[in-house]
Amino acid sequence: MLPEWSSSPPELLLTVDRSSGRPLRAQLEHGLRDAIRSGRLRVGERLPSSRELARTLGLSRGLVQECFAQLQAEGYLVTRPGSATRVAAGAAAPPSAAPPRAAAPRLVADFRWGVPDLASFPVQDWLRALREATGAMPTAELDYGDPRGSAMLREVLAGYLRRVRAAAADPDHIVVCNGYAQGLGLALRVLEGHGVRTVAFEDPGSPATVGAATAAAGLRAVPVPVDEHGIDLRALAATNARAVVVTPAHQWPTGVVLAPERRLALLAWARDHDAIILEDDYDAEFRYDREPVGALQGLAPDRVISLGTVSKSLAPALRIGWMVCPPELTGPITEQKHRSDRGTSTLDQLALARLIESGRFDRHLRRMRTIYAARRTTLLAALAAHAPGLPLTGLAAGFHAVAHLPAGVQEDQVVTAARARGIGLYGMSACRASHAATPAQLVLGFGDVGERAIADGIAAVGHLLTG
């Protein structure tokens, strides 16, 4: 896309050497020809006016006009009355031909996980919040600021997390970060400095994300199995880990809720082993037919780092997350954040604070619960019609479900056959530390799939799911 300029002239880097003995006009013509031939100036791109270019280079305007006239005569430039001078069509050398890319087939339905309904992002509410926040913003907010994040957002987040997640949230111990992955990485680097050497994580879970973060921090990652009640505490105790990454409110990807007795046992494990629990509170806002479960951090704020994000509630593109830290770890984590990137975008933080504070964030979540509930119902109805009897779990919250394929049906074959029919399906094997394809299961994300696409997609692959 070519830049469209306002009334201000565009800038162009050209140089002339007055000590070379070569005529200045010849140098300018050569510089412009070279910029056009090399593709630095593209066809149709606007040049500065002769007056502006003369001023920038310290030349006479007449010399620049003569240069433009010469290049126009040679076919490099074109000028129309009332319009700027631009690079003429065909003046630049054609780009080297790249090998043609095979066009990716368009999917009828893509049941990828972890993606919210991107089309439902509240654009107008976000723009309004951004205008309101920046309009009332003190000039000092444009500085680098506190590496923990905007004081306003941390205050608003603390109130929100106390109200909605029953968290023991103190603004002084919240660190804003660029999403979950950065928050996890910051926490693990600090824990490594506090003597942690092994980090446990749920299996199935997020082996790629946790594995990358632990490796970057110089730590060892150990998978711990999950059953219908959550993480296996006996297996966890056998790992000698002093940190564990869990998703207690809605386990990723099985969808189970950490049972009350295991919540208490997990906290006891953390106290007994001088360990830290990293709680990924990734989609707790979306629940359908079960009571809400409070954040684990609210029960043991000195033993839990709670990581949240707006990637599921709003959009991943915002890259805003937060960490509710134990008091003794807030300082080291803040220092790591400061060294990492000097802080997350303050303007976006202020907009998010305004969105939450105004009540428009809660309104958006209510709307999204209705949308996801309708898609969940459509998914259930489509599977009942086209894959009757197929067990489905993990639907009490979030926007994904787990389909349990019957014996003899291979996960990879189903995924491949579905793709040939224009349907994106994804296997549980990617969520297992061993990448084992048994038991054969699919993780069906319906966050970014419309109801019609869900119905059509399941209709196209239903026979594959039942063998």
pLDDT tens-place string over residues 136-167: 999 999 999 999 999 999 999 999 999 999 99
299 and 441 within one domain: no
**One domain, residues 257 and 172:** yes
Binning pLDDT at 50, 70 and 90, where does residue 11 land?
A: confident
Predicted confidence band of residue 91 (pLDDT cuts 50, 70, 90) = confident
On whether the CB atoms of residues 423 and 430 are closer than 8 A, the answer is no
CATH number reported for the structural domain that contains residue 75 in this entry:
1.10.10.10
Q: Residue 158 belongs to what domain range?
A: 122-362
Query: Which residue, of 299, 330, 362, is where some domain finishes?
Result: 362
Amino acid, single-letter form, for residue 171: P
CA distance 204 to 312: 20
Output the domain CATH number for residue 199.
3.40.640.10
Q: What is the DSSP letter of 36?
A: H
Claim to verify: residue 436 and residue 340 sit in the same structural domain: no
Instruction: Indicate whether 199 and 278 sit together in one domain.
Output: yes
pLDDT of residue 198: 98
pLDDT at 457: 97
What are the tens digits of pLDDT across the range 33-73? 999 998 899 898 999 999 999 999 999 999 999 999 999 99
pLDDT above 80 (res 101): no
Residue 323 lies inside a defined structural domain of this protein:
yes
Same domain for 338 and 369, yes or no, is no
* Contact partners, residue 425, CB within 8 Å, separation at least 6: 111, 414, 415, 418, 419, 442, 444, 461
Q: What is the pLDDT of residue 10?
A: 83
Is residue 133 a contact partner of residue 347, using CB atoms and an 8 Å limit?
yes
Domain-embedded: residue 101 = no
Q: Rg of the chain's alpha carbons, rounded to an integer?
A: 29
Judged against a pLDDT cut of 60, whether residue 1 lies above it is answered with no
**Coil, strand or helix at 222:** strand
Mean pLDDT of 156-185: 97
pLDDT surpassing 60 at residue 2: no
Do the domain assignments include residue 237? yes
Residue 289: pLDDT band with limits 50, 70, 90: low
pLDDT at 93 over 90: no
How high does pLDDT run on average in the chain? 93
Reported as a single tens digit per residue, the pLDDT across 411-436 is 999 999 999 999 999 999 999 999 99
CA atoms of 296 and 318, how far apart (whole Å): 25
Both 330 and 381 in a single domain? no
Residue 325 has pLDDT above 90, yes or no: yes
- Residue 247 forms part of a structural domain: yes
Dist CA 312 CA 453 (whole Å): 20
Q: Are residues 341 and 431 in the same domain?
A: no
Query: Which own/partner pairs from 463-466 qualify as long-range (CB within 8 Å, at least 24 positions apart)?
Result: 463/386, 463/387, 464/409, 464/414, 464/417, 464/418, 465/383, 465/386, 465/387, 465/390, 465/403, 465/405, 465/409, 465/414, 466/387, 466/388, 466/389, 466/390, 466/406, 466/409
Query: Would 169 be classed as within a structural domain?
Result: yes
Number of structural domains the chain divides into: 3
Indicate if 169 and 191 belong to the same structural domain. yes
